[in-house]
Amino acid sequence: MKKIALLILFLLSSLLNATNLSDYINKENCSKIIDKKIFIICYDYEMKGAKYVAYTLDGAKVNTVNIKKRNSFYTEKNLVKKYRSNTNDYKHSGYDRGHLANDASFDYSKKVVRKTYTMANIIPQAPKVNRKTWIKAEKLERKVAVSLGMVKVLNGVVYASKPLRIGRSKVAVPDGFWKMIYNDKENYKKCFYYKNDLNTITKGDKIKSHLVDCRTLR
pLDDT tens per residue across span 150-194: 999 999 999 999 999 999 999 999 999 999 999 999 999 999 999
Q: Of 140, 144, 68, nearest to 107 (Cα)?
A: 68
Q: What is the pTM of this model?
A: 0.91
What is the predicted pLDDT for the residue at 17?
A: 60
Tell me if 159 sits within 8 A of 168, measured CB to CB. Answer: no
Domain extent listing, the chain:
20-216
Predicted pLDDT of residue 138: 98
**Strand pairing partners for 206?**
none
The model's pLDDT over 90-140, given as tens digits with 9 standing for 90+, comes to 999 999 999 999 999 999 999 999 999 999 999 999 999 999 999 999 999
Of 190, 170, 172, 168, nearest in space to 180 by CA: 190
Q: Does residue 13 surpass a pLDDT of 50?
A: no
Residue 95 half-sphere exposure, CB side, CA atoms within 13 Å?
A: 24
Q: Is the distance from CB of 85 to CB of 133 less than 8 angstroms?
A: no
pLDDT at position 5, please?
A: 42
Residues 12 and 33: their CA atoms lie apart, in Å, by 32
Region class of 170: left (phi > 0), else alpha (psi between -120 and 50), else beta: left
Pick the CATH number of 20-216 from 3.30.43.10, 3.40.50.460, 3.60.15.10, 3.40.570.10: 3.40.570.10
pLDDT of residue 18: 77
Residue 215: the pLDDT is 93
Cβ atoms of 74 and 67 within 8 Å: the answer is no
- Centre a 10 Å sphere on the Cβ of residue 148 and count the other Cβ atoms it contains: 16
* Predicted pLDDT of residue 68: 86
**DSSP H helices in 82-209:** 110-115, 127-128, 134-148
What's the chain's average pLDDT?
92
Mean of pLDDT values over 22-38? 97
The DSSP code for 186 is: G
Q: Residue 9: which pLDDT band, with cuts at 50, 70 and 90?
A: very low
11 pLDDT higher than 90: no
pLDDT for the residue 12: 39
Confidence band for 54, pLDDT divided at 50, 70 and 90: very high
- d(CA 185, CA 12) in angstroms, rounded, equals 13
Alpha-carbon distance of 19 to 205, in angstroms, equals 28
Say which DSSP state 43 is in: E
Task: Give me the mean pLDDT over the 3-30 stretch.
Answer: 66
d(CA 213, CA 173): 24
Give the CB-side neighbour count of residue 80, counting CA atoms within 13 A. Answer: 7
